[in-house]
Every structure is written in C-alpha cells, then in structure tokens.
A and B are shown apart, each in its own frame.
Chain A
Amino acid sequence: MSETVSADEIKARHPHLEHEVGRQPMIEIRRMNKWYGEFHVLRDINLTVHQGERIVICGPSGSGKSTMIRCINRLEEHQRGTIIVDGVELTHDVKNIEKVRREVGMVFQHFNLFPHLTVLENCCLAPIWVRKEPRHEAEARAMHYLERVRIPEQAKKYPGQLSGGQQQRVAIARSLCMQPRIMLFDEPTSALDPEMIKEVLDTMVQLAEEGMTMLCVTHEMGFAKTVADRVIFMDQGQIVEENNPHDFFNNPRNERTQLFLSQILAH
C-alpha cells in the first residue's frame, strides 16, 4: 500500500454520494462452507446484500476473500449452505448458473481482457453472443460505457497496447456492457501503479454513485471510507467483523481487525 487515495480526496471529487439503499436482498449467503480438498477455506459464511449496497471486503492474504466473491458467480463451487443471487439459487443446475452470471459482472485483479480482440470487440463479445444483441446496438452501448470510463478513443486498440489502468477500465466497461445488476471487484487496483489507481477508483466511485450493487475486495481504505455502506473483515475463512465504515475504522471490536488495520494504516 504505497499510496492510497484518501477519503477526503474522493469526497472532494464526488460531493454527493447518495446512500439510497433498497430493501430487496440481491445476494443471500447462508451458512456457506467450502473446502479445497481437506482445507476448509470458507467457514459458515452468512451475508445478505441489498440492492444498491456497496460492500467492501478486506482481510489478510489467504483469508478467503477472493474465494468468497468467486462463489457468488460460481467461479468456485461451494459445498455446503446456500447462495441465492437475485432470487436464483446456485446449484449444479447450469441454467441457474447462466442466469446468475448474466446478472453479475466481475472485474479481476489482472484484468483478464481478451488479448486477441480489440477493446470494442472485448466489450461486444458477450452482449452479441450471450444476449443475442444486434452488433450495432452492442457497439453503441460499448461506446457509451467506454465513454463513461473515459477511454472511447482506445476502442480500436488491442489490450496489449494499453496501460494497466486503461486496461482495467476497459475490463469494467466490458462487464457493464452486459448490464449487470451486481458488480464484483477482486482487488481491481492492486496490480496497478499508484498513478493509475486513481483513475480506476474514480470509475468505481462513479459506478457506486449510480446505485450499482457492488462487492469489492480491496485494500483501498480511502475508497472503503467514502463509498462503502458496510465493511467486512475476513480472517481464516470467516467473516470476523462487519460494520459501517465509520465504526469499522474508528473502533474495531475484534482484535484481529485491530491488528490488521494497524498494519495497513501504518504506512
């Protein structure tokens, strides 16, 4: 954490963060457990996320943050408990998995753009092939989102020709093109150079302002303080603490949280 964007800075640039939180649960995780062979990665995870809520998940390396959010779009399979996303339960049923993935967008730490396709093609691929949209419509929407992440001029380039920050913004636009109702972010800024972190965080803040339901694994505490409705702390496969950002940062109850925060904020 060489440089984090401070809460004040974000607030200055985005003065009116609306906290309009609906009451309908978008994600419901109940007593979810997961093992990798013998290794118990996730223990009794309970989490309810309502529409429009912004959740930030943090915790030490190896605590299972990635694994948990990857269970939400079934990139990982859970063994016990239930996960219900937008009213659809995740089971072995492929139809359900497809339905959920259509509603859930994901942004990865290493972008995972498709290097053989241009930026525009990256954005249009799923809308055309999964949602069966006509090409011109898909391209128009792609350009719209590329403008929102402020890189429309890169549409004809290949991912390999862009900077890390630009690639990550393309990845966000690509997810948005599927018009998801939920966005998952797995450490979207931790593979980026400090000067690029800001541009990606700005995009995420903008998304939050528009009321997107978001789950972000991130160590950007500035982002957590301004944008999050709730901060979740995980350790050794468990949710150890869950609180609003103010209380989470100012008086953490659990000692593991205190230790973690003291380490991460010491820099």
Chain B
Amino acid sequence: MADPDRFTPLPAQAPPSSSAGPLAWVRANLLSSPLNVAMTLGVLYLLVSIVPGIIDWAILKATVSGDGPNACDATEGACWTFIRLRFDFFIYGFYPEPERWRVDVVLGLLLLVVGPQFLSRFPGKKWIGLFGLTAFPLIVAMLLMGGLFGLPEVETGKWGGLMLTLVLSYVGIVAALPIGVALALGRRSTMPVIRAICVIFIEIWRGVPLISVLFMASVMLPLFLPEGVNFDKLLRALIGIIMFQSAYMAEVVRGGLQGIPKGQYEAADALGLGYWKGMGLVILPQALKMVIPGIVNTFIALFKDTTLVLIIGLLDVLATVQASIVDPAWGNVATEGYLFAAFCFWVFCFGMSRYSQSLERKLHTGHKR
C-alpha cells in the first residue's frame, strides 16, 4: 500500500489552548455543572481538613530514631521507631537470626523471577517465568527448610512474618491455577465420572469457609491420622489453602471456557488437533486471557486470606504486627503497626493488579468476531 502518489494527510495541528492544558482539564472535569462544582468544593474541603493533620502526624512530628520504647515518649506524632526496631520480626518471624540470609536470598530470587515479568522486553523472560512456576518453589523449600547440603534445619514453626505470607501465597497461586484449570476442564468433561468428581470437589471446597478448612487441617486432621503419622502444620495449611483456592479458580476458568464460541472448538477439531492440543493451543489461551481480571482477583483474595493462618498458630505479617503492638512497653503503637501491615499487603496486591492490566494490554489482539 506504499504508493508515493497517494494522498498523505498533513500532521494534525495542536488544539487551541482553550481546549487543552490544565485549565481546560479542570473546567471540563471538575467544574462542568453546578453539581460537579459542589462536589469539587466538598472534596477540596475534606482534603484541606484531613491532609495536613496526616502529614503532621506521619512526617513532621514523627520519630524514627532511638533504640527502645523510650524514644517515643515525648512524641505526639507517629512512632516509626517501633516499626524500625521490629522490622526484622515482621519480615522473618522467628526464623533464627544467623540463618536469615537464606530468606534474603529467597526474596532476592523472587525479585529476579518476578521483576522481569513486569518489563515489556527482557531476554529469556518466558524461561524465567517457567522457572518461577516449577523449579523455583522447590529451591525455595530446600533453602528455607534446610537439612540439606550442610544447611541447618529450620522447622516451619519458626517461619513467620512477611516471609510466611509470601510463601503461603506464592505456593497457593502457583498450585491453584493449574489445579483450577484441571478442575474446570473436568467439570466440562463428557465423561460422567470425571465430571461428578470435579463437581463434588468444587462444591465442597467452595461451600466451606477457609477458616474452617484451616482449622480442620490443623486440629481435626491429626485426630484421624494414625498414631505417629504427622505431617507439617505449614504443609497442612498450604494444602488447605490450595484446595480452597483451586475450587474458586476452577469456576473462574470455567467462566472463560464457556465464553469461547463453539466454532473455536470445531475449528480445532476439524484441523485434527484433538482434545489436549485443542485445549492447550486454542481454547485455554483464549479462555485464560478472557478471565485474567477474575484470576487476579482470586489471587489477591488468596494473598489476603493467608492472614487466616493465624488461627492455627502460624504468624504471618499481620500476626507479627499484632503480637508486637500488644507489648506494653511500647504504649499505643497500633496505628503504626496496622498501617505498616496494610502497606505490605497493598504493595503486593497493587503489583498484581498492575501486572494483570499490563498482561491484558499485551495479549490484546484486536477486536473479536
């Protein structure tokens, strides 16, 4: 279509200043009608009356220095000293101090695995992703548990803080997606036995609150197991979380599968792709892409649900914060503690949300027919 004689339009001119620039934006978006003007003024009033107080408390009058609870005695503002001194506990829980480098290595690896996924171009990005889904969790388990290669063993009861939160959610996410996909396929299978098994599994796990799943996993399951058979509490909690979340994931994925037109299945069949290749190459890529928002929603819910392991005596980041703020020596530091916990959760959930949006944009391949 590159015909030199063809008409080429002139580049568009910049719009007149009355329809662009910050002033025009304000007029168009904030002051377009009396109701809008009133709402803008209302919001402005709220901001003016709240924000200075927050800045005052969080920054201007806050204390960061000092090496004990006394440091905050004289402050009216936030006592960030508390967060600073307890930071290690919030991150590592009771993980023994000389071994904490192992957690640092894991966190560094996590950054190396996840980081590139946010970049639009990175050499070997796919392989890094694949590594993150397969070998990485095993390496992490070996590193953190120890007992191999001369690493002293650290029992999982000592794991805690943000590190525990990340372990629970990462493993939960990595395992729940494939199991969920398998369950979704099974629920749509033409084989009655497989379909029945999947339906029963999904409906049972979906019908029970996670808290009772965890409770059963930690308190009741050992009662049914024969004497001497006892497996790790963390592992039991993990299995509970995975089962629970994969049931949710299955329904999200099934929604996607149902949205794929029948013609796609037929075209795959007609080309002789067969069930597995047709699913893997044609149907699932489209179905998963369609339900990315739902999948990420489930992941975010999972991430936040990991705090429930508190009930079976595992200390996630929120629980370590809670355990610290009740320390009478510190006085009232609940606000600082909870803000910190909230910030930890927000960072990761927001990251997932951004990632899902960039993925959606990347996978968008023009309008559908």
| Residues in A lying within 8 Å of B, measured CB to CB | 73, 75, 94, 98, 101-102, 104-106, 108, 110-116, 125-126, 129-130, 158-161, 167, 174-175, 178
Instruction: Name B343-369 residues within 8 Å CB distance of A.
Output: 363, 365-369
In the complex, the answer to whether B271 meets A160 with C-beta atoms within 8 Å is no
CB distance from A157 to the nearest CB of B (A): 8
With A and B bound together, what is the CA distance between A167 and B367 in angstroms?
Answer: 13
* Known contacts A110-B263, A116-B285, A130-B277: A161-B270 contact under CB 8 Å: no
Q: Does B274 count as interface, using CB distance less than 8 angstroms?
A: yes
Which residue of chain A lies nearest to B274 when distances are taken between CB atoms in the complex? A98
Q: Does B40 count as interface, using CB distance less than 8 angstroms?
A: no
| Candidates A73, A113, A129, A160; contact of B281 at CB < 8 Å | A129
CB distance from B277 to the nearest CB of A (A): 5
* Known contacts A75-B270, A114-B282, A130-B272: A161-B277 contact under CB 8 Å: no
In the complex, the answer to whether B271 meets A116 with C-beta atoms within 8 Å is no
Q: Chain B interface mostly helix, strand, loop or mixed?
A: helix
Q: Does B273 count as interface, using CB distance less than 8 angstroms?
A: yes
In the complex, the answer to whether B272 meets A116 with C-beta atoms within 8 Å is no
* B282 neighbours in A (Cβ, 8 Å): 114, 125
With A and B bound together, what is the CA distance between A113 and B366 in angstroms?
Answer: 13
* A73 neighbours in B (Cβ, 8 Å): 269-270
* Known contacts A73-B270, A126-B273, A130-B272: A115-B263 contact under CB 8 Å: no
With A and B bound together, what is the CA distance between A102 and B188 in angstroms?
Answer: 26
| Candidates B266, B270, B365; contact of A105 at CB < 8 Å | B270
CB distance from B369 to the nearest CB of A (A): 7
* B366 neighbours in A (Cβ, 8 Å): 115, 158-161
CB distance from B10 to the nearest CB of A (A): 26
In the complex, the answer to whether A126 meets B368 with C-beta atoms within 8 Å is no
Q: Does B102 count as interface, using CB distance less than 8 angstroms?
A: no
In the complex, the answer to whether B269 meets A115 with C-beta atoms within 8 Å is no
With A and B bound together, what is the CA distance between A138 and B270 in angstroms?
Answer: 18
* Known contacts A116-B363, A130-B273, A130-B277: A159-B266 contact under CB 8 Å: no
Nearest 4 pairs of A and B residues by beta carbon? A160-B366, A112-B267, A101-B272, A112-B263
In the complex, the answer to whether B273 meets A116 with C-beta atoms within 8 Å is no
* B365 neighbours in A (Cβ, 8 Å): 115-116, 158, 160
* B368 neighbours in A (Cβ, 8 Å): 115, 160
A-B contact count (CB 8 A): 76
With A and B bound together, what is the CA distance between A105 and B266 in angstroms?
Answer: 12
In the complex, the answer to whether A130 meets B369 with C-beta atoms within 8 Å is no
In the complex, the answer to whether A114 meets B266 with C-beta atoms within 8 Å is no
Q: Does B264 count as interface, using CB distance less than 8 angstroms?
A: yes
* A159 neighbours in B (Cβ, 8 Å): 366, 369
With A and B bound together, what is the CA distance between A111 and B263 in angstroms?
Answer: 8
Q: How many residues of B contact A (CB 8 A)?
A: 23
With A and B bound together, what is the CA distance between A126 and B277 in angstroms?
Answer: 9
With A and B bound together, what is the CA distance between A115 and B286 in angstroms?
Answer: 8
CB distance from A163 to the nearest CB of B (A): 11
Which residue of chain B lies nearest to A130 when distances are taken between CB atoms in the complex? B272
In the complex, the answer to whether A110 meets B369 with C-beta atoms within 8 Å is yes
In the complex, the answer to whether A106 meets B270 with C-beta atoms within 8 Å is yes
* Known contacts A98-B274, A158-B366, A160-B369: A75-B269 contact under CB 8 Å: yes
CB distance from B223 to the nearest CB of A (A): 47
| Candidates B263, B281, B367; contact of A108 at CB < 8 Å | B263
With A and B bound together, what is the CA distance between A114 and B261 in angstroms?
Answer: 11
Q: Does B289 count as interface, using CB distance less than 8 angstroms?
A: yes
- Supply 12 further A-B pairs (C-beta < 8 A) apart from A113-B369, A178-B271: A75-B270, A98-B274, A101-B271, A108-B270, A114-B267, A115-B369, A116-B365, A125-B271, A129-B273, A130-B274, A160-B368, A167-B369
Which residue of chain B lies nearest to A177 when distances are taken between CB atoms in the complex? B271
CB distance from A164 to the nearest CB of B (A): 8
CB distance from A3 to the nearest CB of B (A): 22
CB distance from B286 to the nearest CB of A (A): 5
With A and B bound together, what is the CA distance between A98 and B271 in angstroms?
Answer: 9
With A and B bound together, what is the CA distance between A224 and B264 in angstroms?
Answer: 28
* A111 neighbours in B (Cβ, 8 Å): 369
Which residue of chain A lies nearest to B268 when distances are taken between CB atoms in the complex? A114
With A and B bound together, what is the CA distance between A175 and B268 in angstroms?
Answer: 11
In the complex, the answer to whether A160 meets B367 with C-beta atoms within 8 Å is yes
In the complex, the answer to whether A126 meets B367 with C-beta atoms within 8 Å is no
Which residue of chain B lies nearest to A98 when distances are taken between CB atoms in the complex? B272
* B274 neighbours in A (Cβ, 8 Å): 94, 98, 130
CB distance from B239 to the nearest CB of A (A): 34
CB distance from A65 to the nearest CB of B (A): 16
Which residue of chain B lies nearest to A153 when distances are taken between CB atoms in the complex? B1
In the complex, the answer to whether A102 meets B269 with C-beta atoms within 8 Å is no
Which residue of chain A lies nearest to B271 when distances are taken between CB atoms in the complex? A126
With A and B bound together, what is the CA distance between A174 and B268 in angstroms?
Answer: 11
With A and B bound together, what is the CA distance between A206 and B138 in angstroms?
Answer: 57
With A and B bound together, what is the CA distance between A263 and B269 in angstroms?
Answer: 35
CB distance from B126 to the nearest CB of A (A): 16
CB distance from A72 to the nearest CB of B (A): 10
With A and B bound together, what is the CA distance between A104 and B366 in angstroms?
Answer: 30
* A158 neighbours in B (Cβ, 8 Å): 365-366
In the complex, the answer to whether B266 meets A112 with C-beta atoms within 8 Å is yes
* Known contacts A110-B263, A111-B369, A160-B368: A101-B269 contact under CB 8 Å: yes
With A and B bound together, what is the CA distance between A129 and B275 in angstroms?
Answer: 12
* A174 neighbours in B (Cβ, 8 Å): 271
* Known contacts A101-B272, A160-B366, A178-B271: A129-B277 contact under CB 8 Å: yes
* B266 neighbours in A (Cβ, 8 Å): 75, 108, 112
* B272 neighbours in A (Cβ, 8 Å): 98, 101-102, 126, 130, 178
With A and B bound together, what is the CA distance between A110 and B265 in angstroms?
Answer: 13
